[in-house]
């Protein structure tokens, strides 16, 4: 623990920012240092890279054509031509699917359970003039008890967390287990039987490989 604390004293925010860290190590020049794949794979060096990424462009096009039905008025892009626009697009996706959804979804019951706030149906046309509607007309216009109860059930269900929902601070990478476990078993067989080398040769305290279930 003390070793970790000492190491963290030298940790800076800039060192975790990949472009800044590359520049701090004077490794940003592709002419002076070609074939530096760690840098090249970690950075989108030009807008041209964004334009030539066919999978990225196909995804953006699919969202526009099939998701938004090709409506120009929606403002959704059909393609991305710069790193700046890619950054903006990813920000929209991440925020909408996380914080924005949580903000508007889980409070639905609190807001919509008061039927006048969000009536699911209206039993009369809206008035054509202001200041002429009385309380009786409002009550006659709002949905009846049956439709209101259906509405309450719907917004209550939409506001609930799923039983199998995993919070962000409790995420587990389960997707890789079907691949990881067979690989680990193969590794055990290869190391202990195929090569003749044993883990205890370097580590007398070795207790055995752990295979995740």
pTM for the predicted model, two decimal places: 0.52
pLDDT tens-digit series, residues 81-105: 998 899 899 989 988 888 888 888 8
Highest mean pLDDT among 6-15, 116-125, 160-169, 187-196: 116-125
Per-residue confidence (pLDDT) for residue 163, from 0 to 100? 79
Mean pLDDT in the chain? 81
User: For the segment 49-82, what is each residue's pLDDT rounded down to a tens digit?
Assistant: 889 989 999 999 999 999 888 888 888 999 999 9
Query: What residue ranges do the domains of the chain occupy?
Result: 1-43, 47-104, 106-162, 177-213
Q: Model confidence over 148-191: pLDDT tens digits?
A: 999 999 999 989 887 777 665 565 666 666 766 776 776 666 55
DSSP the chain: -HHHHHHHTT--HHHHSHHHHHHHTT---TTTSTT-HHHHHH---SHHHHHT-HHHHHHHHHIIIIISTT-GGG---S---SHHHHHHHHHHHHHIIIIIHHHHHTTHHHHHTSGGGS-S--SSPPPSSTT---HHHHHHHS--HHHHHHHHHHHHHHTSPPTT---GGG----TTHHHHHHHHHHHHHIIIIIS---GGGT-TT--------
């Amino acid at each position: 623990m003390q070793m970790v604390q000492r190491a963290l004293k030298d940790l800076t925010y800039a060192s975790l920012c990949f472009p800044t860290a590359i520049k701090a190590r004077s490794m940003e020049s592709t002419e002076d240092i070609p074939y530096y794949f760690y840098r090249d794979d970690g950075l989108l060096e030009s807008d041209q890279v964004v334009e030539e990424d066919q999978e990225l462009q196909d995804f953006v096009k699919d969202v526009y054509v099939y998701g938004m039905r090709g409506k120009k008025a929606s403002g959704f892009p059909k393609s991305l031509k710069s790193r700046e626009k890619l950054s903006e697009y990813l920000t929209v996706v991440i925020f909408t699917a996380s914080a924005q959804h949580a903000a508007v979804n889980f409070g639905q019951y609190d807001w919509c359970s008061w039927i006048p706030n969000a009536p699911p149906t209206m039993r009369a046309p809206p008035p054509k003039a202001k200041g002429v509607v009385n309380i009786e007309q409002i009550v006659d216009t709002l949905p009846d008890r049956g439709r209101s109860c259906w509405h309450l059930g719907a917004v209550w269900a939409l506001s609930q967390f799923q039983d199998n929902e995993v919070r962000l601070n409790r995420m587990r990478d389960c997707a890789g287990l079907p691949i990881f476990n067979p690989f680990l078993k193969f590794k055990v067989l290869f190391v202990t039987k195929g090569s003749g080398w044993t883990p205890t040769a370097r580590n007398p305290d070795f207790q055995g490989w752990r295979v995740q279930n």
